[in-house]
Amino acid sequence: MSFVVAIDGPAASGKGTLARRLARHYGFAYLDTGSLYRAVGQAVRDAGSDPADETAALAAARALDINRINEKAIRTREAGEAASLVAVMAPVRAAILDFQRDFAANPPGGQKGAVLDGRDIGTVVCPDANVKLFVTASPEVRAHRRWLELKGSGSAVSEAQVLEDTRERDARDAGRAASPMKQAADAHLLDTTNLSIEAAFGEAVRIIDKSMS
């Protein structure tokens, strides 16, 4: 049976950085579920439609081919915004739910476990995950990290604008009716506001090792 690590938390809290490192450390498969919503949102934009249009979003979700996701195109500010708009739609979420569950239960490459990160992994996608982490940090720290990242990739967006986007996205993700972002009752809270990447990784390994022994 696959050992599943579920990581949830708000935008730019460090979920992906942590999840990727954990997957490498334990030899597990990794799925960034946010990339699925980003790819759906970006596909709607590419088709010239409005990400708030449910018919267009559902068609894009049903047509999603994870092997054809354009990693660069989905990392923009606009793709993040489009992702959070399509993510409020229950039919869109339903269209990609089985894929995520199957990935967790049967990790590709025959790996013995999987790390999934997103907003509803511990609550909806994998409620029986072996370990659940809820990774967070203050909005200001998260916005600063994301701004540095966007600046590094050539974006001229201001830090104040990134903070505003971050707050808006958090509110939409936590406030929606369908699978809202929420810490599962049995999740460990990991606040990275004052933790380096290394320290956050060390804390997560301590929690996971304990649950494996």
Ligand X SMILES: Nc1ncnc2c1ncn2[C@@H]1O[C@H](COP(=O)(O)OP(=O)(O)OP(=O)(O)O)[C@@H](O)[C@H]1O
Ligand Y SMILES: Nc1ccn([C@@H]2O[C@H](COP(=O)(O)O)[C@@H](O)[C@H]2O)c(=O)n1
Q: Which residues bind ligand Y (CB under 6 A)?
A: 11, 33-34, 37-38, 80, 83-84, 87, 118-121, 169, 173
84 binds, among ligand X, ligand Y, none (CB under 5 to 8 A by kind): ligand Y
State yes or no: residue 195 binds ligand X (CB under 6 A): yes
Nearest to 188, CA basis, from 3, 9, 4: 9
Contact segment (CB under 6 A) with ligand X among 45-53, 104-112, 188-196, 203-211 equals 188-196
Q: What whole-number distance in Å separates Cα of residue 8 and Cα of residue 14?
A: 10
87 binds, among ligand X, ligand Y, none (CB under 5 to 8 A by kind): ligand Y
State yes or no: residue 90 binds ligand X (CB under 6 A): no
Q: What whole-number distance in Å separates Cα of residue 173 and Cα of residue 120?
A: 10
Q: Are 26 and 113 in contact (CB under 8 A)?
A: yes
Element (H, E) at 190: strand 188-191
197 binds, among ligand Y, ligand X, none (CB under 5 to 8 A by kind): ligand X
Q: Are 165 and 77 in contact (CB under 8 A)?
A: yes
**Which residue has tokens 């068609």?**
59
Closest CB 209 distance from ligand Y, rounded Å = 25
Closest CB 1 distance from ligand X, rounded Å = 27
Any binding-site annotation on 9? yes
Any binding-site annotation on 91? no
Q: How many CB atoms lie within 10 A of CB 184?
A: 19
13 binds, among ligand X, ligand Y, none (CB under 5 to 8 A by kind): ligand X
